[in-house]
Each structure stands twice: as structure tokens, then as C-alpha cells.
Structure 1
Amino acid sequence: MQWSSAEKPSPLNSILSRKHRAWIALYALDGTFQARDEVLHLNNVTEADLLEFEESWLRMRFRNQELAHVCA
């Protein structure tokens, strides 16, 4: 079966949990001007997934920033 690049299943989908794919999507949306629909599609997540995991992503993100300041 031939897949277009947009339809080709990502190997990450079989390795990473929905939470981790949502975190990756949130990082991508935070740091780029990539189209939101494209980011959701590439990471196989929904808007609901982003909402569900956004709080934990923010905690992790700010915790990592605090650790970087302590180590600097």
C-alpha cells in the first residue's frame, strides 16, 4: 500500500503514549509557526488531548526552567 507523506503512519505513534505525543505537539505549537492542524495530525493528537495534558506539560516545562537556573 502506498502512503502519501501526510497519511503515512508515524512510528512514534506506536512507541509514545498519547501524553508524550501531546507534549511534543504543545512544544511544537509553542515554538514554531507551524499550522495547528498539521501539528495535531503529525502527532496523532486532538485538541482534547492538548487540553488534557497542557497542565502537566506546563509543570514540566517550568520545572525544567527552574532547574536550569539553579544549575547555572
Structure 2
Amino acid sequence: MALNIKSLDDFSPDSVARQVPEVNKLLELREALTALKGPMGNLPAFRTQLQALLENEESREQLLKEIGLVSNK
């Protein structure tokens, strides 16, 4: 894997992670879930349902497609 390094800042963990497609998708998912957590994070039913979706691989893939983090194959 070739990384694009132009400055010392490109060696930061976040910069390196953004250049690795698989890791970048996980970071995007984390950011999307964090955004959801803000307004709805205190609702136990929402958290329970979200956890169930993330634990099931098929549901997780569907969720990723719906929020635009994975392209349809």
C-alpha cells in the first residue's frame, strides 16, 4: 500500500487512517454513529436497536449502504 506523504502532518494516525480505504470507512461509520448519538443517544430503545443492527452482519451492511458508506455491489 502506498501512502501519500507530503508533510510531517501526514504521519499523524488520523491522516494515515484516512488513506487506508477500509479504515477510512470505519472512521466514517464512527462519525455517522457519533452524529446519531447526539440527539438520540439517551434513548435506551434506540441504543438497543442500533446495537442489534450492528451485531448482525447483514443488517450492518444494509445500514452502511443506506447511510452511503458502502457502495452497492
Length-normalised TM-score, structure 2:
0.34
Q: Which has the higher contact order (CA 8 A, sep 6+)?
A: 1
Q: For the pair shown, which has the larger CA radius of gyration, 1 or 2?
A: 2
